[in-house]
Chains A and B, each alone.
Chain A
């Protein structure tokens, strides 16, 4: 059976793609951010996932407001990046696995999450940048990627409580896949930031640090927020925290923190990285706990 080995939350600011393309990782502005990924690289090298499920939000590359799903799951053999309009270098395509995708879609719909399935799907920087950050060596990347896209642009957005439940359903879907492979779940985006309005530049360090702490052991604590409260506390685009909540929901075993990094600012954003390991709770460990 497939095993979920962990989850990683990471920022996906487009400027990171430019910094990678220009090789600026060791310049003073970028160093505290990029150096934060070294322990994540070591953990990935030791644990080597075969597949990665990326929870992210599209910024107007694949989806437009004419037809906008709340939750969409890729079901393609390959996911291409493309010109996003603002000069970000275009990444090489990412391989998919339609059989695994359709298993996830079947399981989610049976679990009452009526997702949109996408046999053709462009992935934007919110998908490509976490991949570039976590696997700078493209040859070391997992051979299978599955995109799960969450609407964070057009209100009403799904609530944090709903997103945690979606994550739990994603976790059940992965764990029921009858193929031996190690799966990593990525939550992309955030943390606090706001690009628009006279409140542009809003960052909330206290709220972010609280979220980074609660995501480890008490993700339920984040489900008490409504979307307007999340906009107020994390900023208009800080609602990308929803992607992290879905990621955390998918970790249904014993979760512990491997590493975290938090740095302000990258572009207009409070950047963050959180690496969580997930140890499947077997019958034996369950017995030990209760006995």
Chain B
């Protein structure tokens, strides 16, 4: 099985990650529906419980901590739907994961073009 050990700062979303993250990713997949997004916002704990998230996954969601969600098996395609509920775009979550300000993260992206 492919693993992430060779590439720093990168998780290869392989079978064991997918197995670990199924409940969390399934909950995020449900956020394609506006009704489900509203239900989550009404009672986040109840919604997480309904999908059977682990304690680690629930704590990561509660803290809006993307690196912790990935460590708990989350995949960013699905996590982006959760981030959207919190009003966070991919620059916001990029800044959060790299420990930078959003402006510094955007500058880093621009500098990659030079």
Give the contacting residue for B97; candidates A84, A200, A232, A270; CB below 8 A.
A200
Which chain B residues in 51-108 approach chain A with CB under 8 Å?
66-67, 70, 75-81, 83-85, 89-91, 93-94, 97-99, 105, 108
Tally of B interface residues using CB under 8 Å: 49
Interface contact B13-A83, CB-CB below 8 Å: no
Interface of B is mostly: helix
Give the contacting residue for A65; candidates B22, B89, B108; CB below 8 A.
B22
Give chain A nearest CB distance to B110 CB in angstroms. Answer: 6
Answer whether residue A60 sits at the interface, using C-beta atoms and an 8 A cutoff: yes
Interface contact B28-A60, CB-CB below 8 Å: yes
Shortest Cβ distance from B37 into A: residue = A85
Interface contact A265-B34, CB-CB below 8 Å: no
Most central of A61, A194, A196, A205 by chain B CB within 10 Å: A196
Answer whether residue A20 sits at the interface, using C-beta atoms and an 8 A cutoff: no
Answer whether residue A153 sits at the interface, using C-beta atoms and an 8 A cutoff: yes
Can you identify 11 A-B contacts, CB atoms within 8 angstroms? A64-B25, A65-B22, A85-B80, A85-B84, A86-B80, A154-B15, A196-B66, A196-B97, A197-B10, A197-B97, A264-B110
Chain A residues packing against B (C-beta within 8 Å): 15, 59-61, 64-66, 82-87, 153-156, 194-201, 203, 205, 227-228, 231-232, 236-237, 263-265, 267-268, 270
